[in-house]
């Protein structure tokens, strides 16, 4: 039995790339969506001919937060990365979102399904969502969008050996201060078009990204009026999520830091039930500051580049 997902960064849109990294996902699914063109004429009540129509490939891949492979998924999601060497064998990668005039980075994705291998070309991430709950392993749920599926052969995967980031390593900084959260969710959505087809092609000829939406929610014990007043007064804040993993060298550990420099609270609620603790449920949305990206993700690992 061979089940895996492999990734290779494409040098040009939709051109198959060699697989450079593998991941052992929690779950995955790939769905080719075809729209055959059915032709009807006046001579018969029945359809008389069909033509091959449009095709896209969608799917879901849920992965643990592996310190090396998560970088590939962040690049498929945000589209831009800069890398710097911090020390021998230690690198820092900074991921930021592209703008409308820039082209997203595409990947070739291969999936092993026991006796069948599948290859999807021109893959980007429609969205990525993350849920943090005490006592549960954090994962990233990635919605993919690809332009076509072709045949492939099963390979022997080489899975990451560095353990994923654990939930109990997460440090949350909310509005500049350490926060004790009961739960946190975050979703980053590219809203790409799945219908940008041109005459003469069955597949997407490029990816058209829509509005970038970054939203989330958090549960916090009600201790004072701070967050309620921030919601009522439309106060702008910030959010940082930082994971720390295994040691790379004497001075460095694997790290993943997600920074939203400006957020606003969009809803606030708190239920009172018996003598149970009162928990604030807050939904938020990210806003782009004038002088920096709406989101910045920094990843420290032993991978030289993406």
pLDDT tens digits, one per residue of 115-167: 999 999 999 999 999 999 998 999 999 999 999 999 999 999 999 999 999 98
Sign of CA dihedral 281, 140, 134, 296: negative
Burial of 54 (0-12, 13-18, 19+ CB in 10 A): middle
With cut-offs at 50, 70 and 90, classify the pLDDT of residue 189.
Answer: very high
How distant, in Å, are the alpha carbons of 4, 112, 200, 215, 235 from that of 57? 18, 16, 19, 25, 41
With cut-offs at 50, 70 and 90, classify the pLDDT of residue 40.
Answer: confident
The tokens for 30 are 């790939």
Mean local confidence (pLDDT), 172-177: 92
Whether residue 201 contacts residue 246, with contact meaning beta carbons closer than 8 Å, is answered with no
Residue 212 has pLDDT above 80, yes or no: yes
With a CB cutoff of 8 Å and minimum separation 6, the contacts of 202 are 52, 53, 54, 55
Residue 1 has pLDDT above 80, yes or no: no
With a CB cutoff of 8 Å and minimum separation 6, the contacts of 272 are 278
Residue with the larger pLDDT of the pair 81 and 275 = 81
pTM of the shown model? 0.92
pLDDT tens digits, one per residue of 240-287: 999 999 999 889 999 999 999 999 999 999 988 888 889 999 999 999
Check residue 180 and give its pLDDT: 87
Token pair 């490939």 is at which residue? 57
Residue with the larger pLDDT of the pair 55 and 215 = 215
Percent of the chain exceeding pLDDT 90 equals 73
Mean local confidence (pLDDT), 28-50: 85
Residue 29 has pLDDT above 90, yes or no: yes
Check residue 146 and give its pLDDT: 95
With cut-offs at 50, 70 and 90, classify the pLDDT of residue 220.
Answer: very high
Check residue 245 and give its pLDDT: 95
With cut-offs at 50, 70 and 90, classify the pLDDT of residue 34.
Answer: confident
Check residue 37 and give its pLDDT: 82
How distant, in Å, are the alpha carbons of 4, 27, 54, 173, 268 from that of 234? 46, 39, 45, 19, 12
Mean pLDDT estimate for the chain: 92
Check residue 284 and give its pLDDT: 97
Whether residue 1 contacts residue 14, with contact meaning beta carbons closer than 8 Å, is answered with no
Whether residue 230 contacts residue 218, with contact meaning beta carbons closer than 8 Å, is answered with no
Query: Of 96, 42, 104, 99, whose CA–CA distance to 260 is shortest?
Result: 96
């Amino acid at each position: 039995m061979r089940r895996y997902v492999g990734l290779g960064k494409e040098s040009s849109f939709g051109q198959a790339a060699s697989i450079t990294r593998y991941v052992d996902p929690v779950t995955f699914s790939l769905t080719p969506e075809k729209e055959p063109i059915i032709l009807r004429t006046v001579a018969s009540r029945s359809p008389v001919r069909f033509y091959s129509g449009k095709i896209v490939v969608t799917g879901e891949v849920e992965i643990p937060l592996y310190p090396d492979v998560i970088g590939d998924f962040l690049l498929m999601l945000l589209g831009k990365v800069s890398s710097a060497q911090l020390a021998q064998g230690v690198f820092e990668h900074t991921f930021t979102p592209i703008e409308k005039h820039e082209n997203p980075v595409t990947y070739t994705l291969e999936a092993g399904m026991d006796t069948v291998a599948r290859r999807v070309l021109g893959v980007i991430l429609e969205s990525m969502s993350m849920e943090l709950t005490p006592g549960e392993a954090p994962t990233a749920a990635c919605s993919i969008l690809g332009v076509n599926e072709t045949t492939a052969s099963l390979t022997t995967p080489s899975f990451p050996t560095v353990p994923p980031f654990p939930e109990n390593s997460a440090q949350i900084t909310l509005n500049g201060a350490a926060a004790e959260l009961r739960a946190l969710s975050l979703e980053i959505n590219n809203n790409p078009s799945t219908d940008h087809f041109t005459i003469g092609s069955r597949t997407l000829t490029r990816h058209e990204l829509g509005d970038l939406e970054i939203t989330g929610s958090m549960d916090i014990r009600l201790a004072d009026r701070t967050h309620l007043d921030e919601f009522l007064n439309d106060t702008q804040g910030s959010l940082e999520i930082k994971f720390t993993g295994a040691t790379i060298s004497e001075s460095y550990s694997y790290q993943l830091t997600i920074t939203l420099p400006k957020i606003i609270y969009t809803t606030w609620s708190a239920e009172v039930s018996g003598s149970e603790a009162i928990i604030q449920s807050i939904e938020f949305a990210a806003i782009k500051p004038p002088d920096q990206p709406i989101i910045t993700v920094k990843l420290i690992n032993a991978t030289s580049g993406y």
